[in-house]
Structure 1
């Protein structure tokens, strides 16, 4: 069994992912798209913290998203490390700049690329049989 901390992150990630899926499905207006982006940010933060704790249980230590995503890829938790690196860049752009055009582009990336990768991570950890 995983440690309680991993289970807590998994449950939080599960809820955030469910909320993100719903937002992606229904968002049409600018405010709904902005809300979807906020939900993505939360999902992203929880995903790397979940990965960090999950890998720690395997004796693998990572301290930042980039290192955690690399280790997660090497250990089969994520399918496409390049898309996860794009997520890092996207998350960093959100912190620094904001424009309506950029938010639309971000929404498309979330819908067409990022959500799939987040769901893959969820399925991998769920099916590891330890949660």
Structure 2
């Protein structure tokens, strides 16, 4: 198995785990589950942009280094649908990685459930096809 395929497979598994955490949080609505869900979002998002980078590199796109640049190129190539949401996910990941704020965590948890998870699942479907 190529390392590129492994990155995509890891991303697919990470999103499945994020989905499970979202379902747990919907059912139990506990802060500890919310925090785990946010952490799963962080590594799912990290794997998403890295898998996109690897995919685009395989397609001949070079000089991709930074997440924002990769997301912009993926949008331009039609690999992702909503650049604004992807950039929002990048900001959410960055804000939670550097500063923990309970109010912000609650807002991000809501966005993960309502918006971010479906967008990540859409990328999963692209990689599976």
Relative to the length of structure 1, the TM-score reads: 0.91
The DSSP-based 3-state class of the residue aligned with 1:59 is coil
Partner Cα separation in structure 2 for residue 95 and residue 34 of structure 1:
12
Query: What is the aligned counterpart of 1:109 among 96, 111, 120?
Result: 111
Report the counterpart of residue 40 of structure 2 in structure 1: 39
CA distance in 2, matches of 1:91, 1:46: 12
> Aligned-pair distance for 1:125?
1.8
Residue number in structure 2 paired with 1:59 = 60
Match of residue 11 from structure 1: 9
> Which ranges of 4 or more aligned residues in structure 1 deviate by more than 3 Å?
none
- Residue in 2 that maps onto 1:25: 23
Question: 2: CA distance between counterparts of 1:15 and 1:39?
Answer: 11
- Offset of 1:96 from its aligned partner? 2.3
Runs of 5+ in structure 1 lacking a partner? none
Note the residue ranges of structure 2 that are not aligned, 5 or more in a row: none
In 2: Cα distance, 1:11 partner to 1:121 partner = 12
Counterpart contact for 1:9–1:49, Cα < 8 Å: yes
Partners of 2:3 and 2:78 in 1: CA distance: 21
Number of aligned residues:
125
Cα offsets for 1:16-51 (capped at 9, x unmatched): 000000101111100000000000011011001100
**CA shift digits 1:63-90 (9 cap, x unpaired):** 1110111111111211100000001111
In the superposition, the TM-score normalised over structure 2's length comes to: 0.92
- Kept in 2, the 8 Å contact 1:77–1:125? The answer is no
